Amino acid sequence: MSQDRRLDVLRAIVQDYVETREPVGSRILVERHSLGVSPATIRNDMAALEEEGLIAQPHTSAGRVPTDKGYRLFVDQISTLKPLSMAERRAIQSLLDGAVDLDDVVERTVRLLAQLTHQVAVVQYPSLRRSALRHLELVPLSPQRLLVVIITDTGRVEQRSVETAAEIDPGVIAELRARLNVICAGRRLPAISHTLASLPEQFAPEHRPLVEAVADVLVDTLRLETEERIVMAGTANLARSDLDFTRTIGPVLEALEEQVVMLRLFSEMEEDAVAVRIGAENHHEGLAEASVVTSIYGGAAPSEGVARLGVLGPTRMDYPGTMAAVRAVARYISRILAG
């Protein structure tokens, strides 16, 4: 059997099953696809695909449906993603261009992804550990209390307060603010902690406790694990796909509600332009019948990204269309954050 023809038959089965939700038989393949061989040859090809575990027969006298292994081979064979339509590109631009801050960008992005893919959309907030500092501000709140404002290049803002035993000198605040912005601006946050360690030595002994307190607050903020969070939209889309799950969608919904599950899954995804996990590849029982398509955003290359966005849906998914939408939205939001 020709390897290329076998892939053509598998591709046709995946496409038809995604479109119709009905098991695909050899007669349907002959009628809908120009495979250039007889029905008997196609039946032989389907038997070989089934033997390899790429397709399965859900019940006697039925056609075949793709397995997780079959979907994986199908996805791995997608060499190029089709561009989005002009209408889809306009929808992305019109919705995201009106965003006023990071929270607005994230909220608009998650709604847009759910609309484009008809799946559950998930957007992770930019990670502090993968962001660069744009500006740092020190704001006196009282003679002995200081507000530290951290603004990252992704538009994320974190605020921390510092209490001191001695009265704060305005001149020291101005000098400390200037020094911090010089040594920290444009640098990834994890790298800043090494520079901050030697900063107190640059000030007079009586001012070092304040400098040390501010430096400690910055380092503690950068080390925070609890700041990771995600936003979701389109759960109703999952409910409309209930027939695609042999069990109920309850386990999937429970996994979505536990943000730690999705954050762990996002952290395990490959740093590709578009990464796909199918069924059991998700390593979570509740997601055994679901697929996740993600992309990293916020950097010129995946390794420079600051967070992930993506969609979750049943394994019976329009993979080419979903992958194209996820990639396009990730690229657009990256340009917004870079601007």
Listed by start position, the domains of the chain span 3-67, 86-127+228-338, 129-222
pLDDT tens per residue, range 171-220: 999 999 999 999 888 887 667 877 888 899 999 999 999 999 999 888 88
**φ, ψ dihedrals at 33, nearest 5°:** -130, 140
- Architecture of the domain delimited by 86-127+228-338: 2-Layer Sandwich (3.30)
Please report the pLDDT score of residue 226 as a whole number: 46
305 by Cβ neighbours in 10 Å (0-12 / 13-18 / 19+) ranks as buried
pTM of the model: 0.80
Which CATH number applies to 129-222: 3.40.50.410, 1.10.260.40, 3.30.390.60, 1.10.3720.10? 3.30.390.60
Characterise 301 by phi-psi region: left (phi > 0), alpha (psi -120 to 50), beta (else). Answer: beta
Task: State mean pLDDT over 149-172.
Answer: 87
Is the pLDDT assigned to residue 1 strictly greater than 60? no
The rounded distance, in Å, linking the Cα atoms of 35 and 42 is: 9
Is the pLDDT assigned to residue 300 strictly greater than 80? no
pLDDT tens per residue, range 73-111: 999 998 788 888 898 888 888 888 888 888 898 999 999
Higher pLDDT, 61 or 250: 250
Is the pLDDT assigned to residue 316 strictly greater than 60? yes
* Closest alpha carbon to 145 in 217, 202, 200, 197: 217
Please report the pLDDT score of residue 231 as a whole number: 92
Q: Say if 3-67 and 86-127+228-338 have the same CATH topology.
A: no
Please report the pLDDT score of residue 189 as a whole number: 67
- pLDDT over 70, % of the chain: 95
Region 3-67: CATH code? 1.10.10.10
